[in-house]
Protein backbone atom coordinates (compact mmCIF):
# COMPACT_ATOMS: atom_id res chain seq x y z
CA UNK A 1 0.00 0.00 0.00
CA UNK A 2 1.30 3.41 -0.99
CA UNK A 3 -1.54 5.92 -0.77
CA UNK A 4 -4.68 5.83 1.35
CA UNK A 5 -7.38 8.50 1.09
CA UNK A 6 -9.31 9.09 4.32
CA UNK A 7 -12.68 10.76 3.68
CA UNK A 8 -15.04 10.44 6.67
CA UNK A 9 -18.05 12.36 7.98
CA UNK A 10 -18.08 13.64 11.56
CA UNK A 11 -19.17 11.33 14.38
CA UNK A 12 -22.08 13.27 15.82
CA UNK A 13 -21.59 14.38 19.41
CA UNK A 14 -18.09 12.95 19.55
CA UNK A 15 -15.64 14.11 16.84
CA UNK A 16 -15.70 16.53 13.93
CA UNK A 17 -14.66 15.23 10.52
CA UNK A 18 -11.09 16.62 10.56
CA UNK A 19 -10.51 14.91 13.93
CA UNK A 20 -11.95 11.61 12.64
CA UNK A 21 -9.66 11.72 9.61
CA UNK A 22 -6.62 12.59 11.73
CA UNK A 23 -7.26 9.71 14.14
CA UNK A 24 -7.58 7.21 11.29
CA UNK A 25 -4.35 8.50 9.74
CA UNK A 26 -2.59 8.06 13.08
CA UNK A 27 -3.68 4.43 13.33
CA UNK A 28 -2.44 3.68 9.81
CA UNK A 29 0.92 5.34 10.45
CA UNK A 30 1.52 3.08 13.45
CA UNK A 31 1.65 0.12 11.09
CA UNK A 32 2.80 1.75 7.84
CA UNK A 33 4.71 4.93 8.56
CA UNK A 34 5.75 5.13 4.90
CA UNK A 35 2.20 5.09 3.47
CA UNK A 36 0.94 8.44 2.22
CA UNK A 37 -2.32 9.31 3.98
CA UNK A 38 -4.49 11.98 2.38
CA UNK A 39 -7.14 13.30 4.76
CA UNK A 40 -10.28 14.73 3.17
CA UNK A 41 -12.83 15.53 5.90
CA UNK A 42 -16.36 15.39 4.51
CA UNK A 43 -19.83 16.65 5.49
CA UNK A 44 -23.40 16.77 4.26
CA UNK A 45 -25.46 19.90 4.87
CA UNK A 46 -25.81 19.74 8.61
CA UNK A 47 -23.45 20.51 11.45
CA UNK A 48 -19.80 20.57 10.44
CA UNK A 49 -20.08 21.92 6.90
CA UNK A 50 -18.25 25.16 7.68
CA UNK A 51 -15.34 23.50 9.50
CA UNK A 52 -15.02 20.88 6.79
CA UNK A 53 -15.03 23.21 3.81
CA UNK A 54 -12.79 25.78 5.48
CA UNK A 55 -10.29 23.05 6.40
CA UNK A 56 -10.44 21.44 2.95
CA UNK A 57 -9.85 24.67 1.04
CA UNK A 58 -7.50 26.49 3.40
CA UNK A 59 -10.11 29.16 4.14
CA UNK A 60 -10.89 30.97 7.37
CA UNK A 61 -13.69 31.13 9.91
CA UNK A 62 -15.27 34.31 11.23
CA UNK A 63 -17.12 34.23 14.53
CA UNK A 64 -19.95 36.63 15.15
CA UNK A 65 -23.07 37.13 17.26
CA UNK A 66 -26.51 36.61 15.72
CA UNK A 67 -30.08 35.98 16.82
CA UNK A 68 -30.55 32.42 18.09
CA UNK A 69 -33.57 30.17 17.54
CA UNK A 70 -35.38 31.64 20.57
CA UNK A 71 -34.34 35.23 19.89
CA UNK A 72 -31.39 35.10 22.28
CA UNK A 73 -27.90 36.16 21.11
CA UNK A 74 -25.71 33.25 20.03
CA UNK A 75 -22.11 33.01 18.85
CA UNK A 76 -21.95 31.57 15.35
CA UNK A 77 -19.14 30.93 12.88
CA UNK A 78 -19.31 31.22 9.11
CA UNK A 79 -16.48 30.80 6.67
CA UNK A 80 -14.72 32.17 3.62
CA UNK A 81 -13.25 29.38 1.50
CA UNK A 82 -9.69 29.27 0.24
CA UNK A 83 -10.70 30.99 -3.02
CA UNK A 84 -11.35 34.14 -0.94
CA UNK A 85 -14.76 34.74 -2.50
CA UNK A 86 -17.06 31.83 -1.65
CA UNK A 87 -18.80 32.03 1.72
CA UNK A 88 -20.05 29.04 3.65
CA UNK A 89 -22.92 29.58 6.04
CA UNK A 90 -24.26 26.75 8.17
CA UNK A 91 -27.78 27.23 9.45
CA UNK A 92 -27.13 24.98 12.44
CA UNK A 93 -24.62 27.53 13.75
CA UNK A 94 -27.33 30.18 14.12
CA UNK A 95 -30.56 28.20 14.27
CA UNK A 96 -29.50 24.68 15.26
CA UNK A 97 -31.15 22.28 17.67
CA UNK A 98 -28.25 22.12 20.16
CA UNK A 99 -28.74 25.88 20.76
CA UNK A 100 -32.09 25.22 22.43
CA UNK A 101 -32.19 23.46 25.82
CA UNK A 102 -34.29 20.32 25.63
CA UNK A 103 -37.12 21.67 27.82
CA UNK A 104 -37.46 24.79 25.64
CA UNK A 105 -37.66 23.01 22.29
CA UNK A 106 -40.83 24.14 20.51
CA UNK A 107 -40.83 24.62 16.72
CA UNK A 108 -43.92 26.84 16.94
CA UNK A 109 -41.65 29.63 18.13
CA UNK A 110 -38.11 28.99 16.89
CA UNK A 111 -36.81 31.20 14.08
CA UNK A 112 -34.20 31.14 11.30
CA UNK A 113 -33.65 34.90 11.68
CA UNK A 114 -30.01 34.37 12.71
CA UNK A 115 -29.33 32.37 9.53
CA UNK A 116 -30.47 35.40 7.52
CA UNK A 117 -28.11 37.57 9.57
CA UNK A 118 -25.22 35.24 8.73
CA UNK A 119 -26.09 35.47 5.03
CA UNK A 120 -26.15 39.27 5.34
CA UNK A 121 -22.70 39.24 6.91
CA UNK A 122 -21.35 37.15 4.05
CA UNK A 123 -22.82 39.68 1.59
CA UNK A 124 -21.32 42.56 3.65
CA UNK A 125 -17.92 40.87 3.31
CA UNK A 126 -18.27 41.06 -0.47
CA UNK A 127 -19.05 37.37 -1.08
CA UNK A 128 -21.39 36.78 -4.02
CA UNK A 129 -21.13 33.00 -4.08
CA UNK A 130 -22.61 31.39 -1.01
CA UNK A 131 -22.89 27.78 0.07
CA UNK A 132 -25.62 27.50 2.69
CA UNK A 133 -25.67 24.25 4.66
CA UNK A 134 -29.08 23.30 5.98
CA UNK A 135 -29.93 20.60 8.49
CA UNK A 136 -29.73 20.00 12.20
CA UNK A 137 -32.24 22.78 12.78
CA UNK A 138 -34.40 23.73 15.74
CA UNK A 139 -36.88 25.45 13.42
CA UNK A 140 -40.02 24.91 11.36
CA UNK A 141 -40.53 28.41 9.96
CA UNK A 142 -40.03 27.70 6.25
CA UNK A 143 -37.19 30.25 6.22
CA UNK A 144 -39.54 33.10 7.16
CA UNK A 145 -37.17 34.49 9.80
CA UNK A 146 -34.22 34.22 7.39
CA UNK A 147 -36.18 36.19 4.77
CA UNK A 148 -37.19 38.87 7.31
CA UNK A 149 -33.56 39.35 8.35
CA UNK A 150 -32.74 40.07 4.71
CA UNK A 151 -35.50 42.65 4.32
CA UNK A 152 -38.51 40.68 3.05
CA UNK A 153 -41.85 41.70 4.51
CA UNK A 154 -44.08 38.91 5.77
CA UNK A 155 -47.26 40.63 6.85
CA UNK A 156 -50.43 39.71 8.67
CA UNK A 157 -53.91 40.86 7.68
CA UNK A 158 -53.34 44.17 9.51
CA UNK A 159 -50.14 44.86 7.61
CA UNK A 160 -47.94 44.12 10.65
CA UNK A 161 -44.81 41.93 10.55
CA UNK A 162 -45.67 38.39 11.58
CA UNK A 163 -44.03 36.99 14.74
CA UNK A 164 -41.33 34.32 14.83
CA UNK A 165 -41.73 30.63 14.13
CA UNK A 166 -44.51 28.49 12.72
CA UNK A 167 -46.96 30.34 14.98
CA UNK A 168 -46.11 33.51 13.04
CA UNK A 169 -46.84 31.75 9.74
CA UNK A 170 -50.38 31.05 10.94
CA UNK A 171 -50.96 34.83 10.77
CA UNK A 172 -49.32 35.31 7.37
CA UNK A 173 -51.49 37.16 4.87
CA UNK A 174 -49.08 38.44 2.21
CA UNK A 175 -45.44 38.69 1.22
CA UNK A 176 -43.65 41.74 -0.16
CA UNK A 177 -40.03 41.32 -1.27
CA UNK A 178 -39.48 44.87 -2.57
CA UNK A 179 -37.28 45.67 0.42
CA UNK A 180 -35.15 42.51 0.05
CA UNK A 181 -31.41 43.21 0.21
CA UNK A 182 -30.54 43.94 -3.46
CA UNK A 183 -27.19 42.13 -3.14
CA UNK A 184 -29.13 38.85 -2.94
CA UNK A 185 -29.93 39.18 -6.66
CA UNK A 186 -26.22 39.50 -7.50
CA UNK A 187 -25.39 36.36 -5.53
CA UNK A 188 -25.27 32.70 -6.55
CA UNK A 189 -26.66 30.74 -3.63
CA UNK A 190 -26.13 26.99 -3.48
CA UNK A 191 -27.84 25.08 -0.74
CA UNK A 192 -26.35 21.90 0.72
CA UNK A 193 -29.38 19.99 2.03
CA UNK A 194 -28.82 17.14 4.48
CA UNK A 195 -32.06 15.43 3.37
CA UNK A 196 -34.31 15.48 0.29
CA UNK A 197 -37.74 15.61 1.93
CA UNK A 198 -40.53 17.72 0.44
CA UNK A 199 -42.04 20.56 2.45
CA UNK A 200 -45.30 19.04 3.72
CA UNK A 201 -47.21 15.79 3.99
CA UNK A 202 -46.21 12.38 5.35
CA UNK A 203 -42.57 12.81 4.21
CA UNK A 204 -42.58 16.55 4.94
CA UNK A 205 -40.50 18.50 7.44
CA UNK A 206 -42.96 18.56 10.38
CA UNK A 207 -43.96 14.88 10.18
CA UNK A 208 -40.43 13.54 9.87
CA UNK A 209 -38.25 16.03 11.80
CA UNK A 210 -40.79 17.90 13.97
CA UNK A 211 -40.69 15.43 16.87
CA UNK A 212 -36.89 15.72 17.33
CA UNK A 213 -37.39 19.49 17.68
CA UNK A 214 -39.96 19.13 20.44
CA UNK A 215 -43.18 18.90 18.44
CA UNK A 216 -45.90 16.90 20.18
CA UNK A 217 -48.10 14.60 18.04
CA UNK A 218 -50.88 17.23 18.19
CA UNK A 219 -48.49 19.95 17.07
CA UNK A 220 -47.34 18.18 13.88
CA UNK A 221 -50.53 18.86 11.80
CA UNK A 222 -50.45 22.48 12.98
CA UNK A 223 -46.83 22.86 11.86
CA UNK A 224 -47.69 21.19 8.56
CA UNK A 225 -50.61 23.55 7.97
CA UNK A 226 -48.40 26.56 8.75
CA UNK A 227 -45.85 25.52 6.10
CA UNK A 228 -48.63 24.74 3.61
CA UNK A 229 -50.04 28.23 4.21
CA UNK A 230 -46.61 29.76 3.57
CA UNK A 231 -46.21 27.71 0.37
CA UNK A 232 -49.63 28.84 -0.88
CA UNK A 233 -48.85 32.52 -0.28
CA UNK A 234 -45.39 32.13 -1.84
CA UNK A 235 -47.05 30.70 -4.94
CA UNK A 236 -49.59 33.54 -5.12
CA UNK A 237 -47.20 36.43 -4.32
CA UNK A 238 -43.84 35.21 -5.66
CA UNK A 239 -45.04 32.86 -8.41
CA UNK A 240 -43.04 29.82 -7.25
CA UNK A 241 -44.27 26.38 -6.26
CA UNK A 242 -41.75 25.10 -3.74
CA UNK A 243 -43.80 22.32 -2.14
CA UNK A 244 -42.34 19.23 -3.81
CA UNK A 245 -38.76 20.28 -4.47
CA UNK A 246 -36.35 17.65 -3.04
CA UNK A 247 -34.82 19.37 0.00
CA UNK A 248 -37.66 21.89 0.42
CA UNK A 249 -38.38 20.23 3.76
CA UNK A 250 -34.77 20.27 4.98
CA UNK A 251 -34.18 22.35 8.13
CA UNK A 252 -37.87 22.90 8.83
CA UNK A 253 -38.67 24.16 5.35
CA UNK A 254 -35.69 26.52 5.11
CA UNK A 255 -34.93 24.81 1.79
CA UNK A 256 -38.25 26.05 0.43
CA UNK A 257 -37.66 29.55 1.82
CA UNK A 258 -34.20 29.84 0.29
CA UNK A 259 -35.60 28.98 -3.14
CA UNK A 260 -38.64 31.24 -2.78
CA UNK A 261 -36.95 34.33 -1.32
CA UNK A 262 -33.33 34.12 -2.49
CA UNK A 263 -33.71 32.17 -5.74
CA UNK A 264 -31.26 29.58 -4.40
CA UNK A 265 -30.48 26.17 -5.88
CA UNK A 266 -31.07 23.14 -3.68
CA UNK A 267 -28.45 20.43 -3.90
CA UNK A 268 -27.71 17.25 -2.02
CA UNK A 269 -25.16 18.31 0.59
CA UNK A 270 -22.80 15.43 -0.04
CA UNK A 271 -22.67 16.15 -3.78
CA UNK A 272 -21.84 19.80 -3.17
CA UNK A 273 -19.12 18.86 -0.69
CA UNK A 274 -17.64 16.29 -3.08
CA UNK A 275 -17.27 19.11 -5.62
CA UNK A 276 -16.01 21.70 -3.13
CA UNK A 277 -13.22 19.45 -1.79
CA UNK A 278 -12.49 18.10 -5.32
CA UNK A 279 -12.74 14.47 -4.26
CA UNK A 280 -12.72 13.47 -7.92
CA UNK A 281 -9.40 15.20 -8.48
CA UNK A 282 -7.88 13.61 -5.38
CA UNK A 283 -8.99 10.08 -6.33
CA UNK A 284 -8.08 10.53 -9.98
CA UNK A 285 -4.46 10.72 -8.79
CA UNK A 286 -4.88 7.14 -7.59
CA UNK A 287 -5.11 5.42 -4.22
CA UNK A 288 -4.92 1.84 -2.99
CA UNK A 289 -7.77 2.30 -0.55
CA UNK A 290 -10.37 4.81 0.59
CA UNK A 291 -11.43 4.79 4.25
CA UNK A 292 -14.67 6.59 4.98
CA UNK A 293 -16.82 6.59 8.12
CA UNK A 294 -19.67 8.05 10.12
CA UNK A 295 -21.09 7.86 13.64
CA UNK A 296 -23.66 5.23 12.77
CA UNK A 297 -23.86 3.21 9.58
CA UNK A 298 -27.44 2.16 8.84
CA UNK A 299 -30.12 2.00 6.15
CA UNK A 300 -29.97 5.80 5.71
CA UNK A 301 -26.28 5.59 4.77
CA UNK A 302 -27.09 4.28 1.31
CA UNK A 303 -29.38 7.26 0.69
CA UNK A 304 -26.92 10.02 0.03
CA UNK A 305 -24.95 10.03 3.28
CA UNK A 306 -21.22 10.69 3.20
CA UNK A 307 -19.94 7.06 2.93
CA UNK A 308 -22.24 6.32 -0.02
CA UNK A 309 -21.24 9.53 -1.79
CA UNK A 310 -17.55 8.80 -1.28
CA UNK A 311 -18.04 5.23 -2.53
CA UNK A 312 -19.76 6.49 -5.69
CA UNK A 313 -16.76 8.64 -6.62
CA UNK A 314 -14.18 5.99 -5.65
CA UNK A 315 -16.10 3.49 -7.78
CA UNK A 316 -15.37 5.56 -10.89
CA UNK A 317 -11.65 5.02 -10.31
CA UNK A 318 -11.94 1.39 -9.22
CA UNK A 319 -10.63 2.16 -5.72
CA UNK A 320 -12.00 -0.06 -2.92
CA UNK A 321 -13.83 1.67 -0.06
CA UNK A 322 -14.23 0.54 3.54
CA UNK A 323 -15.81 2.35 6.48
CA UNK A 324 -14.96 2.77 10.14
CA UNK A 325 -18.04 3.56 12.18
CA UNK A 326 -19.15 4.10 15.75
CA UNK A 327 -22.36 2.09 15.72
CA UNK A 328 -23.70 -0.48 13.29
CA UNK A 329 -27.40 0.26 12.94
CA UNK A 330 -30.32 -1.49 11.34
CA UNK A 331 -30.02 -2.13 7.62
CA UNK A 332 -26.28 -1.42 7.58
CA UNK A 333 -25.62 -4.29 5.19
CA UNK A 334 -27.51 -2.40 2.44
CA UNK A 335 -24.31 -0.37 1.97
CA UNK A 336 -22.63 -3.37 0.30
CA UNK A 337 -24.84 -2.66 -2.71
CA UNK A 338 -23.58 0.92 -2.78
CA UNK A 339 -19.89 0.31 -3.24
CA UNK A 340 -18.77 -0.05 0.37
CA UNK A 341 -16.82 -3.31 0.49
CA UNK A 342 -16.82 -3.66 4.25
CA UNK A 343 -17.14 -1.81 7.54
CA UNK A 344 -15.94 -2.19 11.10
CA UNK A 345 -17.08 -0.68 14.37
CA UNK A 346 -14.55 1.12 16.53
CA UNK A 347 -16.24 -0.18 19.69
CA UNK A 348 -13.71 -2.50 21.36
CA UNK A 349 -15.92 -4.43 23.81
CA UNK A 350 -19.31 -3.99 25.52
CA UNK A 351 -18.86 -0.47 26.92
CA UNK A 352 -21.36 2.36 27.47
CA UNK A 353 -21.96 4.76 24.56
CA UNK A 354 -20.67 7.65 26.68
CA UNK A 355 -17.26 5.93 26.89
CA UNK A 356 -17.16 5.55 23.09
CA UNK A 357 -18.14 9.16 22.51
CA UNK A 358 -15.47 10.41 24.91
CA UNK A 359 -12.69 8.18 23.65
CA UNK A 360 -13.58 8.21 19.98
CA UNK A 361 -10.20 9.47 18.78
CA UNK A 362 -8.12 6.73 20.38
CA UNK A 363 -10.73 4.06 19.56
CA UNK A 364 -10.68 5.17 15.92
CA UNK A 365 -6.90 5.08 15.73
CA UNK A 366 -6.88 1.56 17.24
CA UNK A 367 -9.58 0.40 14.83
CA UNK A 368 -7.74 1.89 11.84
CA UNK A 369 -4.63 0.00 12.91
CA UNK A 370 -6.60 -3.28 13.13
CA UNK A 371 -8.21 -2.59 9.77
CA UNK A 372 -5.02 -2.04 7.81
CA UNK A 373 -3.30 -4.97 9.50
CA UNK A 374 -6.16 -7.21 8.38
CA UNK A 375 -6.23 -5.79 4.88
CA UNK A 376 -2.59 -6.57 4.26
CA UNK A 377 -2.34 -10.17 5.49
CA UNK A 378 -3.24 -11.63 2.11
CA UNK A 379 -0.60 -9.58 0.32
CA UNK A 380 2.28 -10.73 2.44
Ligand X SMILES: O=C(O)[C@H](O)CO
Q: Give the residue among 319, 108, 114 at the shortest CA–CA distance from 220.
A: 108
Question: Do residues 208 and 197 lie in contact, with contact meaning Cβ atoms separated by under 8 Å?
Answer: yes
Among positions 251, 290, 302, 371, the unique one binding ligand X when judged by CB under 6 A: 251
Q: Give the residue among 95, 81, 85, 1 at the shortest CA–CA distance from 47.
A: 95
Question: What does 356 bind: ligand X, ligand ATP, none (CB cut-off 5 to 8 Å by kind)?
Answer: ligand ATP
Please report how close the Cβ of residue 41 comes to ligand ATP at its closest, in angstroms. Answer: 13
Give the per-residue contact string, 244-263, with ligand ATP (x = CB under 6 A; - = no): --------------------
DSSP run (H or E) holding 117: helix 113-124
Residue number of the CB atom closest to ligand ATP: 295
Question: Do residues 379 and 346 lie in contact, with contact meaning Cβ atoms separated by under 8 Å?
Answer: no
Please report how close the Cβ of residue 21 comes to ligand ATP at its closest, in angstroms. Answer: 14
Q: Is 193 in the site for ligand ATP (CB under 6 A)?
A: no
- Across 91-183, the runs of DSSP E, i.e. the strands, are 129-134, 153-155, 174-176
CA–CA gap between residue 163 and residue 179 (Å, rounded): 18
Question: What does 243 bind: ligand ATP, ligand X, none (CB cut-off 5 to 8 Å by kind)?
Answer: none
Q: Is 16 in the site for ligand ATP (CB under 6 A)?
A: no
CA–CA gap between residue 222 and residue 26 (Å, rounded): 50
- Considering only residues 272 to 291 of the shown chain, the ones binding ligand X according to CB under 6 A are none
Helix locations, the chain, DSSP H:
17-31, 49-57, 91-95, 113-124, 144-149, 165-169, 183-186, 205-209, 219-238, 254-262, 269-276, 279-284, 306-316, 353-358, 360-376
Among positions 18, 79, 168, 252, the unique one binding ligand X when judged by CB under 6 A: 252
Q: Is 294 in the site for ligand ATP (CB under 6 A)?
A: yes
DSSP run (H or E) holding 297: strand 289-297
Q: Give the residue among 107, 246, 247, 93 at the shortest CA–CA distance from 170.
A: 107
CB nearer to ligand ATP: pick between 17 and 230: 17
CB nearer to ligand X: pick between 8 and 46: 46
Q: Is 326 in the site for ligand ATP (CB under 6 A)?
A: yes
Question: Do residues 170 and 143 lie in contact, with contact meaning Cβ atoms separated by under 8 Å?
Answer: no
Q: Is 326 in the site for ligand X (CB under 6 A)?
A: no
Give the per-residue contact string, 106-125, with ligand ATP (x = CB under 6 A; - = no): --------------------
Q: Is 213 in the site for ligand ATP (CB under 6 A)?
A: no
Among positions 24, 70, 195, 256, the unique one binding ligand X when judged by CB under 6 A: 195
Among positions 111, 137, 292, 298, the unique one binding ligand X when judged by CB under 6 A: 137
Q: Is 11 in the site for ligand ATP (CB under 6 A)?
A: yes
Question: What does 78 bind: ligand X, ligand ATP, none (CB cut-off 5 to 8 Å by kind)?
Answer: none
Q: Is 135 in the site for ligand X (CB under 6 A)?
A: yes
Q: Of the ranges 61-69, 130-138, 293-301, 365-373, which one interacts with ligand X (CB under 6 A)?
A: 130-138
Helices H / strands E in the chain, number of each: 15, 13
Please count the CA atoms within 13 angstroms of the CA of 50 that sit on its side-chain side. Answer: 23
Q: Is 196 in the site for ligand ATP (CB under 6 A)?
A: no
CA–CA gap between residue 277 and residue 296 (Å, rounded): 23
CB nearer to ligand X: pick between 315 and 329: 329
> What burial letters (b/e) apply to 2-19, b meaning 16+ CB within 10 Å?
eebbbbbbbbbebbbbbb
| Count of residues near ligand X by CB under 6 A | 11
3-state secondary structure at position 32 = coil
CB nearer to ligand ATP: pick between 125 and 354: 354
Question: What does 296 bind: ligand ATP, ligand X, none (CB cut-off 5 to 8 Å by kind)?
Answer: ligand ATP
- Considering only residues 19 to 48 of the shown chain, the ones binding ligand ATP according to CB under 6 A are 44, 46
CB nearer to ligand ATP: pick between 50 and 67: 50
CA–CA gap between residue 273 and residue 44 (Å, rounded): 7
CA torsion, ordered 139, 143, 145, 148, to nearest 10 deg: 180
The residues of the shown chain that bind ligand ATP, judged by CB under 6 A, are 9, 11-12, 14, 44, 46, 194, 294-296, 305, 326-327, 347, 353, 356-357, 360
Amino acid sequence: MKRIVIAPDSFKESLDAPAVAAAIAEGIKRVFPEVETVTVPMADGGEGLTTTLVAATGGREITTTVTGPLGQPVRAAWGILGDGTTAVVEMAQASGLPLVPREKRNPLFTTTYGTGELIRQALDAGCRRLIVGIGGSATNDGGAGMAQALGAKLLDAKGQDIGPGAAGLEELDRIDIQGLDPRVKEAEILVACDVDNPLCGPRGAPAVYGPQKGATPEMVPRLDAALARLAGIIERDLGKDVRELPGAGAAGGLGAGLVAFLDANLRRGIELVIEAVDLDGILARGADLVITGEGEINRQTAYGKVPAGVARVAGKYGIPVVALVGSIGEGASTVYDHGIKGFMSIVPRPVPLAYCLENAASLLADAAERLVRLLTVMNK
